[in-house]
């Protein structure tokens, strides 16, 4: 019973998706509510604040657990490591207000699509639907499966046939109304958050609340100047954050606003077609694409006609994409499964732009709304910006632990104060204020503001280097990066391909190569015909647009395209495009070529072909281009040169992109409809024409940057959508794979029939690129030696193999990833998955890419850098306006500097708090305290200015071969703080005790007059004075004036300056301290001020600072104590704690080894003689659940 209740109470929302959540049902109880309200009033709102920080406590206090079906409040918990809670109210949608069709109240379906979740969610007979809204997406309660289901998109279970059949004619008016009410408006609305809301959210941060408490206490003690300074600093810090958030909010709002109000022509069953504003669209609506340029307001499936779309907003690449209609086939498979991975070519995505539509004979192009609002592709992008994945970075968690640690010390101080003051019989009010004062002295209130300023400076420095950042807290994480994934095309290499040459083939022999650019134009012939017509280019706004490869190939012929859209007749646009020889082209016996029909390119088929006709002639030609191995298999073998594979390998192994061309004369009748040709029939028995060789040049910055990263021991990995052979070659040329290193290709296959999944390993160099020949490599007994950690072998694989390994060989994945360098033919989803797998091995991953096919990976990585000016880069934390990978080391340098600066500031503030704490605690022993002006100089003139300028030091230009420590709570940092606190305690206690031993020392009595005057330089003793009028024991002076105070103040103040200097270490992550001019000058000035106040025998200074006159020799002793502390502190910090070699030695002595997963695997594989496997083949399990383990791996795991 208990188990069933729990099952009803807790369910997973968005199972196995990126935004998976656990959802718990709760019911509000009146008496609990009343108790909580009383609690809010009695605690003056403190309980309310606590519930604001902890929504789960709010729900647990106000409600009782119940099944989700009865719940009026739900609690959501993320399933990641953070387990953050949010509270949502369950609301009702009332459909009874609509004039519903007859029969809907009984068993009839409300909406015609009987599979729709809306039918299963309606509560009869009240006609109500329960719903919740989570992260902008609406979920409704499905009574049949007892869980919340997403609305706002068509059911995935629909087949191709049912989409055409159910929605092809449009919805009825009633159904539109129901869907509008249930799914909500089709708009991506981002509210510009009001300033007061942002301000409240920022101010209610636990730290600022503690700060407010501290400041109230200090103000009540009359300590006004410093409190005001901190208040001003906090206001600036909060103001900057709020301004930043407001700017982002406005920018995002402006970005999405224009797509919410687009006019579209929608067709309904009864009323025909009419214009509607796009916010009224619902899933299942059918709308027309009537040839006008249109920015798509929703995701839609094309069911009729073809479209050319610019998907730059999604992919970052402004290459026009051709969309084809969803086939009308009788298949029982869901439509996405039926179209396999190519289903995207039938989908028009929200936010992309329709440039051109081509109608069929039946009328204008038609599409069916698939998803609306935030469910769309663009909505997804906007949601990922509104609700970013929280950054799991230890610095912020450690800073919090630090504050807790300091609070504990503060509590000891509180107990100590209470004991001392009570034993002296002081009034309760005094005891409480003094105890609280010492508690707050230990916790410096400037920590959050100081951390913010450090990041702000780093952000400003990055901006100067043209790197923009929308998530500043990630800058510190960049300092930890130790692996960077690079996209290839446009990131490592130049954007487009350049035509390098063409190798024609005649009579099954390769002819002399024709190089580009050349002084003589390409002679007319089948090759020239193929290059001029076998492409999918279009003319838009008098400019040729299309795939860059097609464009380069076409430009090489010097032919010209006529604007296709002008060739129209009554039946709508005829699908004809005409190309003619240009002025620079070689003379051709033809006037031009008309391209009549296209069999489009698809990544699955790896080829495209066109049917064309020379103008004025009757015969039809078919031209094909595509991957050489594929094209040659469609050709008559007697036309393919014998040395075809050898020639192909010559070029692919040099990193060239090779495309093959083929041709065939089609024997068709006179009045034949070219569009009805079967692709299989047309693409057969072709004549091989030759190879087109294109080069993809490396950007000139690529090699030096990769070399710099390698020198800094940061791994580089290539993740690309390109061909594996080309990717490996580019990786070699770029220096990712060093000369002399072996490349092992991993090929994994899905189970087929009775054959289980298999994985094969082979050396890249000695294998022919022949797919037909048996896969045997020449050197079977090859063994690879390992040198330390610089392995001289690299794994390379393609996306398909990666997918199979994840599914069937997951246990091998970590072993492979530790040495994998090239991933080719990776889809966007696989790229994100790869980044996540690297993170599971404890790598800090950077990702650098230029398109939105990298969007997911850019968001998933610890630091994503987009080299794109496109909108897509909004999803990436960093955007570089300089479109090459120089930004990567730049960002890592700044990240390291910012991280070290953050640590330095936290260390400094901790020490400043503890130095003050020790001094105040010693004075409390005799019921005294530092004077207000004394505190003021320590707090404002020293600490505040140090915090504001300490982080100004710039990054060191050379990347060190190791990273700064990633945790505040690490031995060197903790030791640094502990030792410096010990030095402070020793020095201050010495001063406190030694001053009492001096012959001129007099204890503080009740009848002291303030002896500031007559402090002549030669004076050794202070003359006794008679009681004066202002020497009452309760006067403020009496709690300050004493020789102990006059001794402890310079000791603690100058100690603050010493630690500020000692902690501002320069190399290896930051430039030396003297390059930070502001900071260096400030430290010198602060020291000068302290020495002046201490040594100046000026009465006004003494009375203002509340000092007593001491002999000069004593002041010199105080200075000597400080000098000794400085030397000891500097030696400890620089020679011992920051000594990398010493720590390595200590680690070796104690046998300490890194706990990072990837280090463990590296150590394990080094001692495994059977790794890497070569020319071996492993068999996987038949089912997905069990994973077969090869015996050799089992042994290595045990080791």
Catalytic residues: 487
Using CA atoms, how far apart are residues 257 and 264, in angstroms rounded to an integer?
16
Q: Which residues contact 464 (CB under 8 A, 6 or more apart)?
A: none
How many other C-beta atoms are found inside a 10 Å radius of the C-beta of residue 96?
10
| Enclosing H/E stretch for 540 | strand 538-540
User: Which of 66, 64, 61, 71 shows the shortest CA–CA distance to 37?
Assistant: 61
Return left, alpha or beta for 515; rule: phi > 0 is left, psi -120 to 50 is alpha, else beta. Answer: beta
| Enclosing H/E stretch for 805 | helix 799-808
User: Which of 79, 73, 150 shows the shortest CA–CA distance to 379?
Assistant: 150
- As to burial, measured by CB atoms within 10 angstroms (0-12 exposed, 13-18 middle, 19+ buried), residue 429 is exposed
Answer yes or no: are the C-beta atoms of 254 and 331 closer than 8 Å: no
Using CA atoms, how far apart are residues 332 and 328, in angstroms rounded to an integer?
12
Answer yes or no: are the C-beta atoms of 687 and 636 closer than 8 Å: yes
DSSP letters, 614-641, are: ETT---EEEEEEE-HHHHHHTB-GGGS-
> What is the side-by-side order of every strand in the sheet holding 878-880?
467-469, 878-880, 863-866, 845-849, 483-486, 715-719, 820-824, 793-798, 742-749, 758-763, 1177-1179
The Cα angle at residue 1032 between residues 413 and 1005, in degrees rounded to 5: 70
Using CA atoms, how far apart are residues 1010 and 997, in angstroms rounded to an integer?
21
Instruction: Give bridge partners of residue 747 from the DSSP assignment.
Output: 760
How many other C-beta atoms are found inside a 10 Å radius of the C-beta of residue 774?
5
Using CA atoms, how far apart are residues 991 and 907, in angstroms rounded to an integer?
24
Radius of gyration of the chain measured on its C-alpha atoms: 37
Block residue for tokens 């503030």: 909
Q: Both tokens of residue 378?
A: 């663009």
| Enclosing H/E stretch for 245 | helix 224-257
- As to burial, measured by CB atoms within 10 angstroms (0-12 exposed, 13-18 middle, 19+ buried), residue 644 is buried
Block residue for tokens 């991933």: 823
Question: SS3 of 514, please?
Answer: strand
The Cα angle at residue 141 between residues 136 and 142, in degrees rounded to 5: 125
Q: Which residues contact 721 (CB under 8 A, 6 or more apart)?
A: 488, 489, 824, 825, 826, 827, 853
DSSP letters, 659-670, are: EEEEEEEE---T
Could you tell me whether strands 742-749 and 793-798 are parallel, antiparallel, or unpaired per DSSP bridges? parallel
């Amino acid at each position: 019973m208990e188990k069933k209740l729990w099952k009803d109470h807790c369910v997973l929302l968005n199972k196995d998706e990126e935004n998976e959540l656990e959802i718990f049902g709760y019911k509000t109880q009146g008496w609990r509510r009343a108790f909580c309200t009383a609690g809010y009033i009695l605690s003056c709102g403190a309980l309310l604040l606590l519930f604001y920080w902890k929504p789960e406590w709010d729900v647990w206090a106000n409600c009782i657990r119940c099944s989700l079906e009865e719940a009026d409040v739900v609690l959501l918990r993320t399933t990641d490591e953070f387990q953050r809670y949010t509270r949502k109210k369950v609301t009702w949608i009332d459909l009874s207000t609509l004039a519903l069709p007859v029969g809907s109240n009984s068993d009839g379906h409300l909406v015609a699509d009987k599979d729709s979740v809306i039918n299963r969610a309606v509560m009869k007979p009240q006609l109500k639907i329960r719903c919740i809204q989570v992260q902008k997406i609406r979920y409704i309660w499905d009574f049949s499966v007892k869980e919340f289901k997403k609305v706002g998109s068509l059911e995935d279970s629909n087949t191709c046939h049912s989409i055409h059949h159910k929605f092809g004619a449009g919805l009825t008016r009633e159904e539109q109304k129901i869907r509008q009410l249930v799914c909500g408006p089709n708009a991506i609305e981002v509210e510009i958050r009001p300033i007061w809301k942002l301000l409240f959210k920022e101010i209610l941060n636990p730290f600022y609340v503690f700060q407010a408490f501290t400041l109230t206490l200090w103000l009540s003690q009359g300590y006004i100047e410093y409190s005001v300074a901190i208040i001003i600093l906090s206001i600036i810090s909060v103001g900057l954050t709020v301004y930043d958030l407001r700017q982002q909010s406005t920018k995002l709002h402006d970005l999405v606003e224009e797509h919410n109000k687009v006019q579209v022509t929608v067709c309904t069953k009864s009323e025909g077609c009419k214009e509607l504003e796009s916010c009224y669209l619902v899933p299942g609506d059918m709308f027309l694409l009537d040839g006008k340029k249109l920015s798509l307001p929703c995701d839609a499936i094309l069911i009729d006609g073809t479209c050319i779309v610019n998907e730059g907003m999604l992919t970052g690449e402004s290459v026009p994409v051709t969309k084809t209609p969803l086939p009308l086939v009788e298949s029982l498979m869901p439509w996405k499964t039926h179209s396999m991975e190519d289903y995207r070519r039938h989908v028009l995505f929200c936010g992309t732009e329709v440039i051109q539509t081509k109608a069929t004979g039946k009328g204008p192009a038609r599409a069916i709304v698939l998803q609306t609002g935030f469910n769309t592709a663009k909505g997804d992008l906007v949601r990922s910006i509104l609700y970013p994945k929280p950054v799991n970075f230890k610095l912020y968690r450690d800073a919090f632990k630090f504050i807790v640690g300091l609070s504990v010390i503060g509590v000891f101080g509180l107990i100590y104060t209470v004991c001392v003051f009570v034993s002296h019989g002081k009034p309760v009010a005094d005891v409480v204020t003094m105890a609280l004062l010492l508690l707050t002295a230990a916790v410096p209130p400037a920590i959050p503001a100081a951390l913010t300023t450090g990041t702000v400076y780093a952000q400003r420095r990055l901006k100067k280097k043209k790197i923009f950042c929308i998530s500043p807290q990630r800058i510190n994480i960049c300092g930890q990066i130790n692996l960077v994934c690079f996209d290839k095309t446009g990131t490592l290499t130049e954007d487009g391909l350049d035509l390098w040459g063409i190798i024609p083939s005649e009579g099954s022999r390769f002819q002399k190569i024709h190089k580009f650019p050349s002084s003589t134009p390409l002679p007319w012939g089948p090759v020239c015909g193929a290059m001029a017509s076998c492409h999918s280019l279009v003319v838009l706004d008098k400019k040729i647009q299309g795939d860059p490869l097609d464009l380069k190939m076409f430009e090489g012929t010097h032919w010209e395209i006529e604007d296709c859209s002008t060739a129209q007749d009554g039946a709508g646009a005829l699908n004809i495009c005409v190309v003619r020889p240009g002025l620079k082209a070689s003379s051709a016996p033809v006037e031009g070529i008309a391209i009549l029909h296209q069999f489009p390119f698809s990544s699955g088929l790896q080829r495209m072909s066109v049917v064309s006709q020379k103008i004025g002639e009757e015969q039809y030609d078919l031209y094909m281009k595509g991957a050489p191995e594929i094209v040659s298999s469609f050709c008559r073998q007697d036309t393919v040169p014998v040395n075809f594979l050898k020639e192909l390998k010559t070029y692919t192994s040099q990193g060239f992109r090779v495309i093959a061309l083929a041709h065939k004369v089609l024997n068709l009748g006179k009045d034949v409809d070219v569009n009805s040709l079967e692709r299989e029939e047309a693409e057969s028995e072709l004549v091989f024409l030759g190879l087109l060789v294109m080069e993809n040049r490396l950007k000139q910055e690529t090699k030096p940057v990769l070399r710099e990263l390698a020198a800094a021991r940061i791994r580089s990995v290539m993740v690309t959508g390109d061909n594996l052979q080309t990717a490996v070659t580019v990786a070699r040329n770029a220096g990712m794979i060093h000369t002399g290193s072996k490349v092992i290709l991993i090929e994994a296959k899905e189970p087929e029939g009775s054959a289980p999944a298999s994985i094969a390993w082979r050396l890249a160099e000695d294998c022919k690129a022949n797919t037909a020949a048996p896969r045997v490599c020449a050197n079977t007994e090859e063994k690879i030696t390992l040198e330390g950690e610089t392995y001289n072998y690299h794994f390379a694989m393609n996306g398909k193999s990666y997918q199979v390994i994840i599914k069937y060989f997951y246990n091998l994945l970590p072993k492979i990833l530790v040495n994998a360098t090239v991933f080719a033919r990776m889809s966007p989803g696989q790229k994100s998955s790869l980044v996540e797998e690297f993170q599971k091995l404890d790598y800090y991953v950077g990702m650098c890419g230029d398109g939105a096919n990298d969007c997911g990976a850019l968001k998933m990585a610890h630091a994503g850098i987009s080299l794109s000016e496109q909108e897509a880069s909004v999803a990436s934390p960093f955007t570089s306006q300089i479109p090459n990978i120089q930004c990567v080391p730049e960002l890592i340098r700044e990240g390291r500097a910012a991280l070290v600066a953050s640590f330095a500031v936290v260390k400094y503030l901790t020490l400043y708090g503890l130095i003050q704490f020790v001094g105040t605690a010693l004075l409390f022993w005799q019921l005294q305290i530092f004077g207000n002006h004394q505190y003021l100089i320590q707090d404002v003139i020293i600490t505040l200015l140090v915090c504001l300028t300490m982080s100004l030091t710039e990054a060191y230009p050379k990347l060190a071969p190791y990273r700064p420590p990633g945790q505040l709570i690490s031995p060197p940092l903790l030791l640094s703080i502990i030792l410096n606190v010990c030095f402070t305690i020793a020095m201050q206690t010495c001063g406190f005790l030694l001053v009492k031993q001096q012959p001129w020392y007099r204890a503080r009595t009740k009848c002291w007059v303030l002896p500031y005057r007559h402090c002549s330089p030669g004076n050794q003793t202070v003359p006794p004075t008679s009681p004066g009028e202002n020497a009452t024991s309760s006067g403020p002076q009496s709690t300050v004036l004493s020789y102990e105070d006059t001794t402890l103040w310079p000791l603690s103040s100058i100690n603050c300056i010493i630690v500020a200097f000692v902690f501002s270490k320069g190399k290896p992550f930051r430039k030396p301290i003297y390059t930070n001019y502001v900071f260096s000058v400030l430290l010198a000035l602060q020291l000068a001020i302290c020495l002046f106040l201490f040594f100046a025998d000026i009465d006004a200074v003494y009375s203002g600072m509340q000092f007593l006159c001491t002999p000069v020799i004593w002041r010199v002793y105080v200075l000597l104590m400080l000098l000794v502390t400085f030397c000891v502190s500097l030696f400890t910090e620089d020679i011992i704690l920051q000594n990398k070699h010493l720590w390595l030695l200590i680690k070796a002595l104690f046998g300490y080894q890194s706990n990072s997963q990837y280090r463990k695997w590296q150590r394990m594989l080094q001692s495994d003689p059977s790794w890497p496997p070569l020319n071996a083949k492993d068999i996987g399990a038949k089912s997905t659940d069990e994973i077969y383990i090869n015996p050799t791996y089992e042994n290595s795991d045990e080791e």
